[in-house]
Amino acid sequence: MRGRRAPQSEGACRVARVSIVVNNYNYGRFLERAIDSALAQDYPDLEVLVVDDGSTDNSRDLIASFGDRIIPVLKSNGGQGSAFNAGFDASSGDIVMFLDADDELHPNCASEVVRAMRPGVSKVHFNLLCVDEVGQPIGPYVKEPLPDGDQAEELATHGLIVSMPTSGNAFARGYLRKVLPMPAEKWRVSADVYLHSLSAFAGRTAALQTPLGLYRVHGLNQSGMLDGRRVNVAAIQRILEREIETDITLSRFAPQFGVNYATGALTRSLGHLQQLFFLKKVAPKIGTAQGSLFSIFWRYIGSLASSRVRANKKILIGAWSAGILLAPRPLAEYLMFIAYEQGAAFTTTRVVISGSGAARRRSRTATAGAHRPR
C-alpha cells in the first residue's frame, strides 16, 4: 500500500494514485475500523496516511500497530484544518480523500472515485450510509440526488452548494495545490467546508449516488442545532461565524479562478438570515451589529420571497416565522424546535437530534457539511 508504483510498460496509460488521509483526534475507539476500511480498498495504487492531531487516548498505540502498512503523521493539536494541511503535505496521490476517523469506506470506494475523476473535475462526491455508534444502519446521508457538473455559477451567486461531509469527497491534487495550506486557526472545525466550497470554482463536480462509505452518528459528533428540546445557541453562533469566514474565503479565491463572486452572497442567503433571525430571537444581546430583530426578520422574509422555495412552502414558512417573531421566547423556541425536527429550517449543517435508538432529522440543507468538534 505504502510502496512505490508498480512499473508500467512504455506507452501505458498512467494509473492515478489515491491517497486516503485519515484524520483523527481522540477517536481511538473508532480509528482501527477507519484504517482497516482504507487498507481494504480494492484499488491497487493507494496509500493510507493517518494524521493524529495530538490525541490523548490510545490512538497513537493503534496507529503504531499498523506498522509500515500506513504512513503516520503525528502532530500536536491544531484542529481539523491543520490536520488536513499536514496530511496533504505528506501525501503523494493524484486523488486525495480525507476520511474522518469515526467513518469508514466501502472496499470499492477508491475504484469508483478513480472512474469518476476526469480532466476538469476538481471533486468527486458520493453518498454515505449513516450508521449508529455500533454500526446499525440509519439511512442514506442525503435522499435527494447529489448535484453533478458545473456548480460555479450556483456558488458565485448564492455562496452555497450542496456537498457531502468530509468522508464523502475526493479531490484532484491539482486543485488542492491551489488552496492548501488553509488558514488552520480559522478552520479548526468544519475544514471540509473550505475544501468543497472552493472546489466548485476550480472545476466540475462528479457525483456518485450510491453510498460508498459509512457516516457514524454518535454522541461526540452530534453538533446540530438542537440540545435536547432547546435551540443550541452556541451551534447557531458557530454556523454563522463559519459562513462569514466562508464568504471571506470565496471572495479571496474567486479572482484566482476567474470567477466573479458576489461578495456577501452567503451572508445574504436565506439560510444565513434565518439562522441570524433565530439567534436574535433567543439571544437578543448577541449580534447587535446585525440590526434589530425586526430588521433582520424583514431581510429574512425578503430573501424567502425571492428564493426558489415553492410558493405554498413560502407561505407556510412565512407564517411560521411570523409566529416566532411575535411569540414569547419559550413558545418561539418550541416553534424553532419543530422546524428543525421537521426539516423546515434552512441551515448549512445537518441537524441531528438525540433520542431513543437513532432519532434523526435533516434540515433542507444548502450545504450538507459535517461539523466535527476538535
248 pLDDT higher than 70? yes
Position 352 scores a pLDDT of 29
Cell numbers at 246, concatenated? 466562508
Tell me the pLDDT band of 370, cut-offs 50, 70 and 90.
very low
- Local confidence band at 371 (pLDDT 50, 70, 90 cut-offs): very low
Q: Please give the model's pTM, rounded to 2 decimal places.
A: 0.84
Q: For the segment 265-283, what is each residue's pLDDT rounded down to a tens digit? A: 999 988 899 989 999 998 8
- The C-alpha cell of 294 is what? 425586526
* pLDDT greater than 50 at residue 348: no
Per-residue pLDDT band at 358 (split at 50, 70, 90): very low
The reported pLDDT for the residue numbered 342 is 63
| pLDDT of 356 above 90 | no
Q: How far apart are CA 167 and CA 231, in angstroms?
A: 27
Residue 313 pLDDT class (50, 70, 90 cuts): confident
Confidence grade of residue 228 (pLDDT, cut at 50, 70, 90) = low
pLDDT tier, 288 (very low <50, low <70, confident <90, very high otherwise): low
Residues 87 and 149: beta-carbon distance below 8 Å:
no
The predicted model gives 281-304 an average pLDDT of 87
Secondary structure of the chain in the HEC alphabet? CCCCCCCCCCCCCCCCCEEEEEEECCCHHHHHHHHHHHHCCCCCCEEEEEEEECCCCCHHHHHHHCHHHCEEEEECCCCHHHHHHHHHHHCCCCEEEEEECCCEECCCHHHHHHHHCCCCEEEEEECCEEECCCCCEEEECCCCCCCCECCHHHHHHHCCCCCCCHHHEEEEHHHHHHHCCCCHHHHCCCHHHHHHHHHHHHCEEEEECCCCEEEECCCCCCCCCEECCEECHHHHHHHHHHHHHHHHHHHHHHHHHCCCCCCCCCCCCHHHHHHHHHHHHHCCCCCHHHCCHHHHHHHHHHHHHCCCCCHHHHHHHHHHHHHHHHCCHHHHHHHHHHHHHHCCCCCCCCCCCCCCCCCCCCCCCCCCCCCCCC
Residue 202 banded pLDDT, cuts 50, 70, 90: very high
In this prediction, residues 184-189 reach a mean pLDDT of 93
Domains of the chain: 18-216 (3.90.550.10), 226-342 (no CATH)
What is the band of 287 on the pLDDT scale with cuts at 50, 70, 90? low
The stretch 255-272 carries a mean pLDDT of 92
Assess whether pLDDT exceeds 50 at residue 55: yes
Q: Does the pLDDT value for residue 11 go beyond 80? A: no
Instruction: HSE, CB side, 13 Å, CA atoms: give it for residue 308.
Output: 5
Residues 6 or more apart whose Cβ sits within 8 Å of residue 6: 44, 45
pLDDT tens by residue, 90-123: 999 999 999 999 999 999 999 999 999 999 999 9
Closest among 358, 330, 374 to 81, alpha carbons compared: 374
